[in-house]
């Protein structure tokens, strides 16, 4: 397919109309930080490109009822600097701050991070740990699904050709909750994540870990929740023994999952995850106070 | 072809762009702003960085048609009409922060984007501000000291 038409959309209605009419022939572009490279390599060949980066209705971070909602075309820099997200969930802002470089954070969007479905997407583990919900729109209406369920495989999400990811939303922080994020990469800027991990915890009475959700990046074919580790930790009293034991469990889970991967992954990641997990959990716990 | 209008260094341009053209190609090949350098073409090296609506961006990752209505600053827009260098350029020269020069235009723009927002950056903030721009010659030390010097010049009201 040859790129025949490019559209700079200014309203959501315009975007939905184009998608409705062109279907699979059309592709949405926002920050372009992944897509422009894919277009040039011929990995994606749309006939029509619709730019949503200046659709104001898709660029927002706001409180709606019990939720914090982030528009799909919101830049990483805006998440990093947003006063709305709140200190306990600073881990999400740290995740956004770890993406690429200043240039990439000025362009790249949270919706692109999700829909591009890279295993190493930095903000997705944090959103998974926050149990975020994806809000999807088309001309026919709006539907919602857990963000976790949006992935089919590496590079593939459950969006129909007529649909667009409109926003992600998650419950506002409550007292006793915290989110920690840790990224392991080869260097500070512009390094693809080797491991990224976000841990959400809720502190109960007597230092009990009432709830925990763990979102991981670069440990699977797409970002996932780490339920085996969550189940091991949930309901236990927070102390060094639990942290050490949970880290061991996480290591074993990865040994199994990555057994057929190249040595750099199967040997390194199950070992490295222990330190990453402890750091992320401790960060999250400190933020519950 | 698609007709777009955009402002580059204060001047309004109306140009026809190919559908698959990047902002980088438009600036260099159509409009002649060759201070915008093409390096890696993947957003990793930062050599093609320009300031778009006040923000530092890599022009290799933006499609030309997306820049409709945008205000862009390239290195060509920094010096005054009489040829006087911008304080950041002056500081780079004085400190010896330029060797082969390929990264320099974008590095100066990265410094500008940083200093416009944060007139008194720490060393750490300077390093963060230029973290998306690779330089293979200088080892960065002299770039960091130039940005500090440029900040002083700018805070004194420009040299």
| Whether the Cβ atoms of residue B23 and residue B62 lie closer than 8 Å to each other | yes
SS (H, E, C) chain A: CCCCEEEECCCHHHHHHHHHHHHHHEEEECCCCCHHHHHHCCCCCCCEEEECCCCHHHCCEEEECCEEEEECCCEHHHHHCCCCCCHHHHHHHHHHHCCCCHHHHHHCEHHHHHHCCCCCCCHHHHHHHCCCEEEEEECCEEEEEEHHHHEEECCEECCCCCCEEEEEEEECCCCCEEEEEEEECCCCCCCCCCEEEEEEEEECHHHEEEEEEEEEECCCCCCEECHHHHHHHCCCECCHHHHHHHHHHHHHHHHHHCCCCCHHHHCCHHHHHHHHHHHHHHHHHHHCC
Q: Quick one: DSSP state of residue B29?
A: I
Q: Does B15 touch chain A (CB under 8 A)?
A: no
Q: Domains along chain A?
A: 5-51 (3.30.43.10), 57-289 (3.30.465.10)
Could you give the dihedral angle defined by the CA atoms of residues A138, A140, A146 and A150, in that order, rounded to the nearest 10 degrees? -50
CA distance A35 to chain B (A): 8
Name the pLDDT band for A87 (thresholds 50, 70, 90).
Answer: very high
Note whether B131 contacts A101, CB cutoff 8 Å. yes
Which residues have C-beta within 8 Å of that of residue A16, sequence separation ≥ 6? A137, A138, A139, A162, A164
Position A261 pLDDT exceeds 50: yes
Chain B positions in Cβ-Cβ contact with residue A8 (cut-off 8 Å): 4, 65-66, 68
Q: What pLDDT digit, counting tens, does each position of A4-14 carry?
A: 999 999 999 99
Per-residue model confidence as pLDDT tens digits over A125-140: 999 999 999 999 999 9
Candidates A6, A37, A189; nearest CB to B132: A189
Going edge to edge, which strands form the sheet with B71-73? B11-17, B2-8, B71-73, B49-52, B55-58
- Kindly report, residue by residue over A181-195, the tens digit of the pLDDT: 999 987 766 677 789
Nearest-CA distance A256 → chain B (Å):
34
The CA-atom distances, in angstroms, between A208 and each of A229, A242, B44 are: 16, 11, 44
Percent of chain A exceeding pLDDT 90 equals 91
159 residues of chain B, pLDDT tens digit each: 999 999 999 999 999 999 999 999 999 999 999 999 999 999 999 999 999 999 999 999 999 999 999 999 999 999 998 999 999 999 999 999 999 999 999 999 999 999 999 999 999 999 999 999 999 999 999 999 999 999 999 999 754
Of B41, B65, B132, Cβ closest to residue A6: B65
Burial of A182-200, coded b for 16+ CB within 10 Å and e otherwise, reads bbbbeeebbeebbbbbbbb
Task: Please report the DSSP string for B7-21 in residue order.
Answer: EETTEEEEEEE-TT-
A36 in reach of chain B (CB within 8 A) = yes
Taking the CA of residue A189 and the nearest CA in chain B, the distance in Å comes to 6
Query: What's the mean per-residue pLDDT of chain A?
Result: 95
To the nearest whole Å, the CA of B38 is away from the closest chain A CA by: 14
Asked if B113's CB is within 8 angstroms of A36's CB, the reply is: no
ipTM of predicted complex: 0.96
Q: What is the pLDDT of residue A265?
A: 86
Chain B contacts in chain A segment 50-89 (CB below 8 A): 51, 53-54, 77
Local structure of B43: helix, strand or coil? coil
CB contact under 8 Å between A8 and B65, yes or no, is yes
* Residues of chain A above pLDDT 70, percent: 99
Q: Give the whole-angstrom CA distance, residue A142 versus residue B33.
A: 45
pLDDT in the model for residue A190: 66
A and B: number of Cβ contacts within 8 A: 81
Whole-number Å distance between alpha carbons of A274 and A272 = 5
Q: Is the predicted pLDDT of residue A180 greater than 70, yes or no?
A: yes
- Looking at the predicted structure, is the pLDDT value of residue A241 above 60? yes
Is A107–B49 a contact, with Cβ atoms under 8 angstroms apart? no
Q: What is the pLDDT of residue A2?
A: 87
Q: Which residue of A has its CA nearest to B107?
A: A103
Mind listing the pLDDT tens digit for each residue in B79-102? 998 999 999 999 999 999 999 999
pLDDT of amino acid B159:
46
CB-facing half-sphere around the CA of B26: CA atoms within 13 A: 32
Nearest CA to B113 among B55, B47, B157?
Answer: B55
- Chain B residues whose CB is inside 8 A of the A100 CB are 43, 132
pLDDT of residue A1: 63
Q: Which domains does chain B possess? A: 2-77 (3.10.20.30), 87-155 (1.10.150.120)
Residues of chain B numbered 56-95 and touching chain A (CB < 8 Å)? 56-58, 60-63, 65-66, 68-69
Q: Which residues of B touch A40 (CB under 8 A)?
A: 41
| Buried-state track A149-174, b at ≥16 Cβ within 10 A, e below 16 | ebbeeebebebeebbbbbbbbbebbe
């Amino acid at each position: 397919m040859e790129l025949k038409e490019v559209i700079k959309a200014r309203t959501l209605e315009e975007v939905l109309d184009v998608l409705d009419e062109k279907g699979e022939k059309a592709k949405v572009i926002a920050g372009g930080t992944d897509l422009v490279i894919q277009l040039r390599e011929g990995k994606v060949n749309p006939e029509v490109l619709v730019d949503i980066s200046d659709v104001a209705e898709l660029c927002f971070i706001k409180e709606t009822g019990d939720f914090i909602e982030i528009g799909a075309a919101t830049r990483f820099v805006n998440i990093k600097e947003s006063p709305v997200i709140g200190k306990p969930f600073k881990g999400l802002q740290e995740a956004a701050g770890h993406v690429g470089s200043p240039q990439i954070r000025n362009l790249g969007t949270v919706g692109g991070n999700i829909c591009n479905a890279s295993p190493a997407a930095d903000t997705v583990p944090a959103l998974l740990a926050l149990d975020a919900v994806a809000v999807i729109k088309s001309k026919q209406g709006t539907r919602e699904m857990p963000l976790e369920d949006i992935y089919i495989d590496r590079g593939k999400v459950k969006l129909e050709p007529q649909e667009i990811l409109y926003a992600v939303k998650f419950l506002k922080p409550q007292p006793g909750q915290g989110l920690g994020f840790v990224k392991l990469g080869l260097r500070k800027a512009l390094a693809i994540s080797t491991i990224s991990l976000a841990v959400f915890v809720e502190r109960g009475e007597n230092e009990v870990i009432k709830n925990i959700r763990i979102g991981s990046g670069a440990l699977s074919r797409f970002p996932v929740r780490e339920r085996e580790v969550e189940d091991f930790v949930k309901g236990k009293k927070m102390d060094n023994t639990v942290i050490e034991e949970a880290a061991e469990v996480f290591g074993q889970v990865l040994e199994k999952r990555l057994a057929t991967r190249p040595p750099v992954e199967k040997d390194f990641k199950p070992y490295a995850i222990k330190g990453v997990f402890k750091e992320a959990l401790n960060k999250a716990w400190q933020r519950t106070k | 072809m698609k007709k777009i209008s955009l402002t580059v260094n204060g001047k309004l341009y109306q140009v026809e762009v190919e559908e698959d053209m990047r902002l980088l190609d438009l600036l260099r090949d159509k409009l002649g702003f060759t201070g915008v350098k093409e390096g890696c073409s993947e957003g990793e090296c930062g050599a093609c960085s320009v300031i778009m609506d006040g923000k530092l961006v890599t022009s290799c990752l933006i499609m030309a048609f997306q820049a409709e209505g945008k205000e862009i600053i390239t290195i060509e827009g920094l010096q005054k009409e009489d040829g006087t260098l911008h304080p950041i350029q002056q500081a780079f020269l004085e400190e010896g922060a330029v060797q082969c020069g390929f990264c320099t235009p974008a590095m100066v723009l990265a410094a500008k984007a940083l200093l416009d927002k944060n007139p008194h950056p720490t060393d750490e903030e300077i390093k963060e501000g230029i973290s998306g721009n690779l330089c293979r010659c200088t080892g960065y030390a002299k770039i960091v000291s130039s940005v500090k010097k440029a900040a002083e010049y700018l805070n004194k009201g420009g040299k």
